[in-house]
Amino acid sequence: MVIRIAAVGDVHLDEDVVGRFRPALEELPECADVLLLAGDLTRHGTEAEARCVAEEFGGLTVPVVTVLGNHDHQCDQVPQVTKVLEDAGITVLEGNGVVLDCAGGRLGIAGVKGFGGGFAGRCASDFGEPEMKAFVRTTTESADRLGAALRSLDCDMLVALTHYAPVPDTLVGEPLEIYPFLGSYQLGQAIDSAPTALAVHGHAHAGTERGTTPGGVRVRNVAHPVIKQAYSVFHVGDQLDTDQVSPIGQSGSQRSWS
Ligand SMILES: [Fe+2]
Ligand SMILES: [Fe+2]
């Protein structure tokens, strides 16, 4: 029993990029049961940019599930952006989950944007000024919602979808100084609180593709500037968890926005 998961993040669409991903997306049914988008779908989170995302990723023959990224929050139009995406048939997760019936079984996907905070030994703590406490509380609440969503899903295979990174492994290549703004160990703890088979994130454009949580869960940074193709495909199942090297999916776009 195998479920095939395609994923990409940080496509940062606007009018000038529309159409670049589409040829590879049309081939998705041949290699994947679902497409996950790991946030930063837009550059500034405008409704107009969201319509570009809807045009590019809407109407596909496989389900599309996404979380939003920090860029998608920039213009404070999250409700409008979310509505445009959902009207295009894209499922937008934030602290909740969805279960999809795939040929290889029931796939549970729990998603949250996540937030920063840093990693073991180098992280922000809930101490001092109210602003610092609010920063840490944002991360804690986000991670708590991810963990609760993961543990609530009744499925055969479980995947965590975030924008921010749950481990430092996939940040290698980024400046150390900005690690606390790229992810949090608390997301990793949430992922490890459930029988998660795969964790997918974006945000770290200069990072590394592969990592592992302390609990042994496979983590993949699918930011488009990292994977340099329209999407990567991962298999999860009873007998094998593998990364597929897809011969298709070259979008030609290797932009590097953060
Ligand atoms: Fe981001
Ligand atoms: Fe990004």
| pLDDT score at 63 | 98
Distance of CA 186 to the CA centre of its chain: 16
Gap from CA of 205 to ligand 1 centroid (Å) = 8
Residue 66 confidence (pLDDT) above 60: yes
Ligand nearest to the CA of 41: 2
Report the distance separating Cα 41 and Cα 9, nearest Å: 7
* Residue 1 binned pLDDT confidence (cut-offs 50, 70, 90): confident
| pLDDT score at 29 | 95
* Residue 239 binned pLDDT confidence (cut-offs 50, 70, 90): low
Residue 252 confidence (pLDDT) above 60: no
Report the distance separating Cα 225 and Cα 174, nearest Å: 12
Residue 245 confidence (pLDDT) above 60: no
* Residue 238 binned pLDDT confidence (cut-offs 50, 70, 90): low
Residue 126 confidence (pLDDT) above 80: yes
Report the distance separating Cα 87 and Cα 101, nearest Å: 21
Gap from CA of 54 to ligand 1 centroid (Å) = 19
Gap from CA of 256 to ligand 2 centroid (Å) = 8
Gap from CA of 101 to ligand 2 centroid (Å) = 30
Gap from CA of 226 to ligand 1 centroid (Å) = 13
Residue 253 confidence (pLDDT) above 90: no
Gap from CA of 234 to ligand 2 centroid (Å) = 21
Cβ-based neighbours of 141, under 8 Å, separated by 6 or more? none
Gap from CA of 3 to ligand 2 centroid (Å) = 27
Gap from CA of 133 to ligand 1 centroid (Å) = 22
- Burial label for 181, CB within 10 Å (0-12, 13-18, 19+), is middle
Gap from CA of 8 to ligand 1 centroid (Å) = 13
| pLDDT score at 121 | 83
Residue 79 confidence (pLDDT) above 80: yes
Residue 248 confidence (pLDDT) above 60: no
pLDDT digit string (tens) for 16-39?
999 999 999 999 999 999 999 999
Torsion of CA 6, 9, 15, 17, to 10 degrees: -70
Gap from CA of 127 to ligand 2 centroid (Å) = 29
Ligand nearest to the CA of 181: 1
Residue 171 confidence (pLDDT) above 80: yes
Gap from CA of 57 to ligand 2 centroid (Å) = 17
| pLDDT score at 258 | 32
* Residue 120 binned pLDDT confidence (cut-offs 50, 70, 90): confident
Gap from CA of 117 to ligand 2 centroid (Å) = 17
